[in-house]
């Protein structure tokens, strides 16, 4: 079933923030690759609220938790009171059923599409249980085709967790979107897709394919070393992406990296520590 989100009035520009791969853990004091993932996500949100809070919505592109469904309550605690719609898709470390159960009510939306002014944001599920790589199911591809066919005059932004193009990284490209050819066959039948966003790769990417802007965002926790044959961690800090979607279909974007002095003195809400 296609779920349609809130329809916002037409504006000259739509601003979104893309946040990805927080990898939250059930134990709020636990770390992943030396990083307290709840703390770094809180720092990203604090920075966004201080400097980029003119956005209309937040887009979270997968791996909300790290194989621990009990951690969804921390995610909900952090995002529920922000006063913005929160569009989420599952990643390979998520439990899609537990994710949708935990985030079943406003301000969260985890399926379908949302019409935001001149734009339609389509949420794609590429999660394959038990696999690091991903694929969009036949039903998901059919739903994508319907979302593109019914978008009318709106420009379209697609959000998916797994990368549909190569990242020039031997190990990482083995766990991308395995049916990217089928995905692009659907996309190529329409002329309204302006950008495709993804997470999963824990590093930035900015490219184009047939005029469509392709964008990946680093994680809110640890990063992966770009163009590495083997798995390796990049020491770069947490980051998120700011997007400005213009009425003419233009996509403007900036990556925001946290500085060292923004990684200090962060208070985690008591409800998230519980």
Reported as a single tens digit per residue, the pLDDT across 137-169 is: 999 999 999 999 999 999 999 999 999 999 999
pLDDT at site 7? 56
Helical H segments across the chain, by residue range: 37-51, 72-80, 96-102, 138-149, 180-187, 270-273
List residues bridging with 207 in a β-sheet.
Answer: 214
The mean per-residue pLDDT over the stretch 97-118 comes to 98
Q: For the residues 223-252, what does the mean pLDDT come to?
A: 97
Quote the pLDDT of residue 264: 38
257 beta partners: 239
For position 260, what pLDDT does the model report?
61
pLDDT of residue 265: 35
Encode 3-27: b = buried (16+ Cβ within 10 Å), e = exposed.
eebeebeeeebbbbbbbbbbbbbbe
| CA distances to 130, 173, 195, 273 from 213, in Å | 30, 19, 4, 39
Please name each of the domains of the chain with its CATH number: 13-263+269-273 (3.60.21.10)
Model pLDDT, residue 267: 35
Q: For 19-63, what is each residue's pLDDT tens digit?
A: 999 999 999 999 999 999 999 999 999 999 999 999 999 999 999
């Amino acid at each position: 079933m296609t779920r349609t989100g809130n329809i916002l009035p037409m504006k000259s520009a739509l601003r979104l923030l893309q946040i990805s791969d927080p990898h939250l853990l059930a134990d709020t004091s636990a770390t992943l690759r030396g990083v307290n993932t709840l703390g770094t996500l809180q720092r990203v949100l604090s920075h966004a609220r201080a400097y980029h809070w003119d956005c209309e919505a937040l887009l979270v592109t997968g791996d909300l938790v790290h194989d621990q469904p009990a951690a969804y309550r921390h995610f909900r605690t952090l995002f529920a009171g922000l006063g913005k719609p929160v569009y989420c898709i599952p990643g390979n470390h998520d439990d899609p059923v537990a994710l949708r159960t935990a985030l079943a009510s406003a301000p969260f939306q985890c399926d379908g599409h949302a019409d935001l002014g001149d734009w339609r944001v389509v949420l794609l599920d590429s999660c394959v249980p038990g696999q690091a790589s991903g694929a969009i199911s036949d039903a998901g591809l059919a739903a994508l085709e319907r979302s593109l066919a019914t978008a009318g005059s709106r420009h379209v932004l697609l959000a998916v967790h797994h990368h549909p193009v190569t990242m020039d990284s031997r190990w990482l490209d083995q766990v991308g979107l395995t049916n990217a050819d089928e995905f692009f066959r659907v996309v190529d039948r329409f002329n309204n897709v302006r950008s495709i966003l993804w997470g999963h790769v824990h590093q930035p990417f900015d490219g184009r394919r047939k005029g469509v802007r392709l964008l990946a965002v680093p994680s809110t926790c640890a990063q992966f070393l770009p163009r590495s044959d083997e798995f390796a961690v990049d020491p770069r800090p947490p980051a998120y992406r700011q997007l400005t979607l213009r009425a003419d279909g233009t996509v403007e974007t900036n990556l925001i990296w946290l500085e060292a002095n923004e990684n200090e003195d962060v208070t985690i809400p008591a409800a998230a520590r519980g």
